[in-house]
């Protein structure tokens, strides 16, 4: 009960800090020129302040420091405090990179280098890495060598960080999807009884929701790369910290938690590869763009993607409750196949990869036509 009260206080403190700090960030963004001007790729039609992620970051760090003196002895071990320090240290580097980009528009290579450095601090500076592996349908987890675990962990952190950055295209979209993912992590950490992840998730969730008061459509401020990179980094680290002890099959859990940004990123890579465009070249083919083209309003598009993210989160929670066994592995495997099939059908329906290429839908249509022909005979 006392722990739950502490988590609640952390959430409230972070929420209030975000509500108080974000208006100050708006003024700062205009003052230093960290603004977003409309262009052919942007949805907004007026100059908007960026740098909003500073409000989330300040609320997160401030919320943690505010309740740190009240954390009871024994709740966090030395190892747990190491996890928290890793997230704050790496997150600070990410926020600096994002803030510089919001003001000066850094090149993609410079931003990628900054993300790798931040991930490297977590992995090499604090020895936080994925260090267990299980062959699907195997019986025991096996330790993996550092030459595999270190690049694997850095790849995971950098990949998720960029995935959140890529979906930041509509008011409240990246913040809301991140909030749903963080909430999912908090629920799963509570089920597992993992105190540091519960604590960090509830504090970060408070900051995101407080920021959403200014970022939901019509937004008064954009989170910018400061926010999208920080939230992506936080999601990558928290999902890894909470579930790094699970198997490769169960590693589906963190993939489901961030299923929306990861799938959107995957389809973006495929789309650019098919169209022979650079992988990092921006376009207007993301999920939110496609939904807008179908006629959905700005707000409804965001709410639809929230619902998809919540569905993925619910699947992650249900999947994580399955007891590890061969039968459970088969259930997980089937769930993965079904979700991949649904994703492919949805992608073809909205044209997220290509407006004309619909291989699965065309195949199903041919099967139905043959079935009807056989029935007519």
- Residues flagged as binding site for Mg(2+): 165, 225
Token couple for 363: 């195949």
Whole-number Å distance between alpha carbons of 20 and 13: 11
Binding residues: 165, 225
Task: Write the burial class of residue 33 (CB in 10 Å: 0-12 exposed, 13-18 middle, 19+ buried).
Answer: exposed
DSSP 3-state of 76: coil
Give me the helices (H) in 140-172, please.
Answer: 146-166
Q: Which residues, other chains included, contact 31 with Cβ-Cβ below 8 Å and sequence gap of 6+? A: none
Secondary-structure percent of the chain, ordered helix, strand, coil, rounded to 5: 70, 0, 25
Q: Are 97 and 119 in contact (CB under 8 A)?
A: no
- 183 alpha carbon, distance to own chain's centre: 11
Whole-number Å distance between alpha carbons of 58 and 53: 8
Q: Are 202 and 329 in contact (CB under 8 A)?
A: no
Residue with tokens 């929230």: 306
């Amino acid at each position: 009960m006392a722990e739950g009260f502490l988590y609640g206080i952390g959430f409230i403190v972070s929420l209030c800090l975000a509500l108080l700090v974000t208006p100050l960030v708006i003024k700062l963004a205009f003052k230093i020129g960290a603004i977003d001007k409309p262009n052919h790729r942007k949805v907004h039609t007026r100059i908007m302040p960026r740098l909003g992620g500073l409000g989330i970051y300040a609320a997160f760090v401030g919320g943690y420091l505010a309740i740190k003196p009240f954390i009871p002895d024994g709740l966090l071990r030395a190892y747990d405090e190491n996890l928290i320090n890793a997230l704050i240290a790496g997150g600070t580097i990410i926020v600096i990179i994002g803030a510089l980009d919001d003001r000066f528009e850094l090149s993609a290579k410079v931003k990628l280098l900054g993300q790798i450095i931040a991930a490297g601090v977590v992995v090499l500076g604090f020895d936080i890495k994925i260090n267990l592996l299980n062959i699907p349908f195997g019986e025991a987890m096996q330790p993996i060598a550092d030459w595999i675990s270190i690049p694997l962990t850095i790849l995971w952190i950098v990949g998720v960080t960029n995935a959140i950055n890529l979906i930041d295209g509509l008011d409240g979209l990246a913040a809301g999807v991140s909030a749903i993912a963080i909430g999912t992590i908090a629920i799963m950490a509570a089920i597992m009884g993992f105190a540091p992840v519960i604590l960090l998730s509830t504090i970060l969730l408070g900051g995101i929701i407080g920021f959403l008061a200014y970022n939901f459509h019509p937004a008064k401020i954009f989170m910018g790369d400061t926010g999208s990179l920080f939230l992506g980094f936080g999601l990558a680290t928290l999902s890894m910290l909470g579930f790094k002890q699970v198997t490769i099959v169960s590693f589906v859990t963190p993939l489901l938690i961030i299923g929306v940004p990861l799938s959107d990123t995957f389809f973006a890579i495929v789309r650019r590869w098919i169209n022979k465009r650079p992988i990092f070249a921006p376009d207007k083919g993301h999920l939110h763009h496609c939904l807008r083209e179908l006629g959905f309003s700005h707000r409804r598009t965001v709410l639809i993607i929230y619902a998809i993210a919540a569905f993925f989160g619910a699947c992650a929670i249900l999947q994580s409750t399955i007891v590890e066994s061969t039968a459970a592995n088969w259930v997980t495997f089937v769930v993965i196949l079904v979700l991949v099939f649904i994703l492919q059908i949805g992608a073809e329906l909205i044209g997220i990869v290509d407006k004309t290429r619909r291989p699965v839908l065309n195949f199903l249509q041919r099967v139905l036509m043959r079935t009807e022909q056989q029935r007519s005979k």
